[in-house]
Amino acid sequence: MDTSTGSADASALLAAEYSALIDNALDLMVVHDGAGRILRVNAAARALLGYEPEELAGRHYTDLLDPGQHAEARAIEASLHGDCPERTDVALRVRRKDGSVIQMASAARWSASHRRMFVTARDVTGQQQAREALLRSEAALGSMLESIGDAFFAIDSNWRLTYANRKAAAFVGVDAAESIGKPLLEVAPDLQHSPSLPRYQRAMQTRQADAFEVFWEPGQVWIEARVYPHADGISVYFHEITAKREAEHALKKSEQRFRKLFNQAGDSVMIVDGALRIVSVNDRACARFGYSRDEFLGMLATDVNFGFPEGRALLAGLRAGQAQLLRTDKRCKDGTSFPAEVQISRFDDEGEEYFLAVIRDLSDRAEAERQLRESERRFREVIEMTPAGYLLAGRDGALQDVNPALCALSGYPREMLLALRLDDLFVSCPLPTLDVWDAGPATVQGVEAVLQHRHGYHIHVLFNGSIKRDDEGRALSLTGLMTDITGRKAAENRLQELATHDTLTGLPNRALLGERVQQMLDAAPYGSSVAVMFLDLDRFKEVNDSFGHESGDVLLCEVASRLRKVIRPTDIIARLGGDEFVVAAHCATGQAAAARIADKLLDVLTAPIAVGGIDVIVGASIGISMYPQDAQTRELLFQTADTAMYRAKNSGRNRYRFFEPEMTVATRERMALEVSLRPALARGEFELHYQPRYALDGMALIGMEALIRWNHPERGQVSPQQFIGIAEETGLIVPIGRWVLREACARTRRLMDDYGTRVMVSVNVSARQLAQPGFAAEVCAALADSGLPPACLELELTESALIEDIEHTASMLRELKRLGIRIAVDDFGTGYSGLAYLRRFPIDVLKLDRSFVTQQDENVSTFDFVKAFVDMAHALNMEVVAEGVETQEVCDFLRAARCDQAQGYYLARPMRLGQLRALVGSQPPPKEG
């Protein structure tokens, strides 16, 4: 029998099991060499750090550490290489792939024989945060809650202990500090079988306060508990009442048991005769005052009092059967004193008059009151210094208190504000009426409101409010805090305006035009006509070439202004882009009415326009399509009007033409292009060009955008603008896009291998591709076949692709994100989507259209707008890439606005693969970590 073979098989099996154990471990396991280069990482890196294990191979371990800990890490490494080859107490701040920092507890061992460092680590961020929460809780509540007479603890809605004072901790025999954050039943397991637990559970569920007495079996004591629900759990006050219950029982049976209860009372008790001689005291009195019982029996009650009132009125009240409650100071044997609450009652014993005085030491209460006053003083200081506006309003809505920040926000001095009501100060308020106060929610968080400034203008604020109610639920007062968000609202409104309007002329853009034309068609009465007119300026290109783009922009603005003046309020005018405008109008008399409108448009456009000090006449070619005669859908109206416009331009310009069915030459031309497009992929007629992308901080090359080009065998190079639309409509974009994706991944992988550098490639994805159920699998296959790391691939989507099928898109993007790739939105702000969609999709990058940084606006400066846009994106954990950067000034401007990356002709034009390789080869090598 060959035992060596069996031994080898067993060793292999054992090695496989060890490998599976390591890769399935929840803790991070790392092996690196003596130089600190990572050799192997187990699969836990994916969950803990966001990296695939192979992404970390070859990197220096300090790449994963917070930069501020590098020196400490190297010192630890040196000790491990020296006289201390093993450490189990290393705390590290580790930076995850997404940039967030987590706290990890790690252990390390240096094997000199293997020349390897073996490290294990686990995420203790949650534990660290819990400890910090404990410290804050102790700092805020400790002084007050430790001074109250009762034992106190609080738990959250998850039944975890959030606070316990020393009395509560001692009651169950635990350390208060060590118990915070633990489940209640873990701290006090005896509660599981105690009648107290159902009462706590009911208070947690019903949100109703409760009070009860219960026997505590483990300590054989009776306690009185009071339970108060709060926003996230319950608070419990309790104290032992065993003595009281036993005293009640003892009083019924015998004087001996009464004496025992008398001596065990928690308060000092004295019995004084009619001559104010002390005839009896309990043990508590002896302990508190410092006198023995024999010493007390020779004293008068006045001997331990400071100014105790002995007037006839007091005696008369007592003799009338009225107990008296006094607040005074008591003197001890050692000369010290303490504040006390004294309840005095009179009783007769066999005809003799006696007075019973129960003396409660108020030292703890006085200290608590002092701390409360100090807390109120600090609260007042905080309110006065906080930058948020603060108000307190009574039930009638009148302002009772304000802080300086609200005075500055509203423009009113304090005296004037306190003379106002809520409805005087607010244009809209989230808690406007008493009905809402009494029946609505007790708090509102992060609700927008509008404040009326003293000078009349409106200020948008973010309002947080809390209503104080009495025990019957009746509102007593409103406390509110608010911060000014007027600037943010202006930026949001501007973003919305830019999303639906042309930034140059202020006219509706293509997205808004489509909505309004559809509304016009839906509202058109039966038998009526709607004209859609496409206008293309005849000499705009000449003006642009002769006078420059700025003069061209002046011309476009003047054209827009003239068109506005001649159309009716019910008509629609929009700019599609470039020198193309669209007018849509109801035409009661059909073509005749449309012709009159077209004549007016030509008249205003043939009048001279001053450009660069010279009068020019641009004129226009107008194509007109009539609904429902020429087309019955919005899309066909646009298409037929566009066809008619080209016929007008080909007919001599500066005229209009109505659509006629024979205007199909352009359509046939387009069909010919489609016929050529179908076999283009199989014939290898496509190639990719690449436009580099740079980080604005340091101007390092970080990647490139892959751009498709078609080398037609007869037409030469065909512009993507000519064939991409055809590919989209015919579905050819799916195989073409698949080729682009695989080609870009393969070329980028080879580029990285040849030059030893890491770059990212950005690939455009159409709505058609995104709609394919197997698109994520195609991306996965392209990455696997090319060997390109997922983090080096970025997919660019248009806004229209995002919202074509929102639910499918969100699901597909989440599936793509799980692969580890990046998602970018191209030309953000120029399409159809709204800001709300940014939170629906897992987007990494927003690509800012060039129009946002090249146009000026009289209301919001370009810098302020772009800065607000970048800040918004950063707040959503997204990067911003500016497109179309053509000057150094724009580059500097974007850097000042904290924009992350840029691409454009100033930085680099799209280039062939050979040029890209030369560019990458000329880059300096990456710095060592």
Q: Reduced to 3 states, what is the DSSP secondary structure of residue 544?
A: helix
Q: Reduced to 3 states, what is the DSSP secondary structure of residue 277?
A: strand
Taking alpha carbons only, the member of 480, 486, 483 closest to residue 402 is: 480
| Span 521-551, pLDDT tens digits | 888 888 889 999 999 998 787 777 667 778 8
Q: What is the pTM of this model?
A: 0.37
Asked if pLDDT for residue 257 goes beyond 70, the answer is: no
Torsion of CA 695, 701, 707, 711, to 10 degrees: 150
**What is the rounded distance in angstroms from the CA atom of residue 145 to the CA atom of residue 322?**
35
Q: What is the mean pLDDT of residues 334-347?
A: 87
How much helix, strand and coil, in percent to the nearest 5, is found in the chain?
45, 30, 25
CA 82 vs CA 75, 86, 87, 109: distances in Å: 11, 10, 12, 11
The reported pLDDT for the residue numbered 120 is 92
The reported pLDDT for the residue numbered 669 is 73
467: left (phi over 0), alpha (psi -120 to 50) or beta: beta
Q: b vs e for 801-818, b when ≥16 Cβ sit within 10 Å of the residue's Cβ?
A: bbbeeeeebeebbeebbe
| Span 18-36, pLDDT tens digits | 778 788 888 889 999 988 8
Indicate the length of the chain as a whole number: 929
**What is the rounded distance in angstroms from the CA atom of residue 761 to the CA atom of residue 783?**
12
User: Poorest-confidence range of 208-217, 286-295, 646-655, 765-774?
Assistant: 646-655
Phi, psi of 483 (to 5 degrees): -125, 145
Phi, psi of 219 (to 5 degrees): -100, 0
Q: H-type helices in 391-538, by residue range? A: 404-410, 414-417, 422-425, 434-439, 486-500, 510-523
**What is the rounded distance in angstroms from the CA atom of residue 276 to the CA atom of residue 301?**
6
Bridge partners for 530 per DSSP: 586, 627
Asked if pLDDT for residue 434 goes beyond 80, the answer is: no
Q: Tell me how crowded residue 477 is: count the other CB atoms within 10 A of its CB.
A: 15
Q: Tell me the longest C-alpha to C-alpha distance in the chain.
A: 132
**What is the rounded distance in angstroms from the CA atom of residue 174 to the CA atom of residue 188?**
9
User: Poorest-confidence range of 247-251, 629-633, 753-757, 890-894?
Assistant: 247-251
CA 879 vs CA 821, 824, 901: distances in Å: 14, 9, 8
DSSP string for residues in 819-858: TT-EEEEEEETSSS--GGGGGTS---EEEE-THHHH---S
Judge whether 572 and 584 are in contact, CB under 8 Å: yes
> Who contacts 230 (Cβ-Cβ below 8 Å, separation ≥6)?
154
Taking alpha carbons only, the member of 593, 501, 542, 367 closest to residue 855 is: 501
Judge whether 308 and 357 are in contact, CB under 8 Å: no
Q: Tell me how crowded residue 308 is: count the other CB atoms within 10 A of its CB.
A: 18
Asked if pLDDT for residue 823 goes beyond 90, the answer is: yes
Residue located via tokens 């839906």 = 522
Judge whether 81 and 110 are in contact, CB under 8 Å: yes
Q: What is the mean pLDDT of residues 338-367?
A: 85
The reported pLDDT for the residue numbered 711 is 93
**What is the rounded distance in angstroms from the CA atom of residue 409 to the CA atom of residue 455?**
11
Please give the structure tokens belonging to residue 440.
């609505």
Q: Reduced to 3 states, what is the DSSP secondary structure of residue 256?
A: helix
Q: DSSP character for 21?
A: H
Rg of the chain taking only CA atoms, in angstroms? 41
CA 551 vs CA 577, 610, 621, 785: distances in Å: 16, 10, 21, 51
Residue located via tokens 């005896």 = 190
Please give the structure tokens belonging to residue 506.
């202020």
**End-to-end C-alpha distance for the chain, whole angstroms:** 55
Judge whether 291 and 374 are in contact, CB under 8 Å: no
As a whole number, the mean pLDDT across the chain is: 85
Q: H-type helices in 39-175, by residue range? A: 44-49, 53-56, 70-81, 125-145, 166-172
The burial of 638, by beta-carbon neighbours within 10 Å (0-12 exposed, 13-18 middle, 19 or more buried), is given as buried
Residue located via tokens 């159809």 = 832
Asked if pLDDT for residue 929 goes beyond 50, the answer is: no
Q: Which one is predicted more confidently, 440 or 792?
A: 792
Please give the structure tokens belonging to residue 35.
């130089």
User: Poorest-confidence range of 191-200, 215-224, 306-315, 550-559?
Assistant: 306-315
In percent, how much of the chain has pLDDT > 90? 32
Phi, psi of 281 (to 5 degrees): -140, 155
On the CB side of 680, how many CA atoms lie within 13 Å of its CA? Answer: 29
Phi, psi of 848 (to 5 degrees): -85, 125
Asked if pLDDT for residue 760 goes beyond 90, the answer is: yes
| E strand or H helix at 654 | none
DSSP string for residues in 320-382: TT--EEEEEEEE-TTS-EEEEEEEEEEEEETTEEEEEEEEEE-HHHHHHHHHHHHHHHHHHHH
Q: Which one is predicted more confidently, 394 or 779?
A: 779
**What is the rounded distance in angstroms from the CA atom of residue 593 to the CA atom of residue 603?**
16
Q: What is the mean pLDDT of residues 292-314?
A: 76
Judge whether 32 and 38 are in contact, CB under 8 Å: yes
| E strand or H helix at 601 | helix 591-606
Provide the pLDDT confidence category of residue 3 given band limits of 50, 70 and 90: low
In percent, how much of the chain has pLDDT > 70? 91
On the CB side of 208, how many CA atoms lie within 13 Å of its CA? Answer: 6
Residue located via tokens 């603890």 = 153
Do you find a cis peptide bond into 628, omega within 30 degrees of 0? yes
**What is the rounded distance in angstroms from the CA atom of residue 862 to the CA atom of residue 869?**
10
Judge whether 618 and 607 are in contact, CB under 8 Å: no
Q: Tell me how crowded residue 233 is: count the other CB atoms within 10 A of its CB.
A: 20
Extract long-range pairs of 454-459: CB within 8 Å, 24+ residues apart.
454/410, 454/411, 454/412, 454/416, 455/411, 458/427, 458/486, 459/409, 459/410, 459/484, 459/486
Judge whether 403 and 384 are in contact, CB under 8 Å: yes
| Span 613-625, pLDDT tens digits | 788 888 899 999 9
Judge whether 681 and 736 are in contact, CB under 8 Å: yes
For residue 853, the Cα-to-chain-centroid distance in whole angstroms is: 27
Q: DSSP character for 566?
A: H
Q: What is the mean pLDDT of residues 226-243?
A: 91
The reported pLDDT for the residue numbered 832 is 43
CA 36 vs CA 28, 201, 928: distances in Å: 16, 54, 12
DSSP string for residues in 161-219: EEEE-HHHHHHHT--HHHHTTSBHHHH-GGGGGSTHHHHHHHHHHH---EEEEEEETTT
> Who contacts 741 (Cβ-Cβ below 8 Å, separation ≥6)?
763, 765, 778, 779, 782
**Amino acid identity of 441?**
P
Q: Which one is predicted more confidently, 900 or 555?
A: 900
> Who contacts 398 (Cβ-Cβ below 8 Å, separation ≥6)?
420, 421
The reported pLDDT for the residue numbered 437 is 64
Asked if pLDDT for residue 326 goes beyond 80, the answer is: yes
Starting at the edge strand that comes first in sequence, how are the strands of the sheet with 655-658 ordered?
Answer: 572-577, 580-587, 529-537, 620-627, 655-658
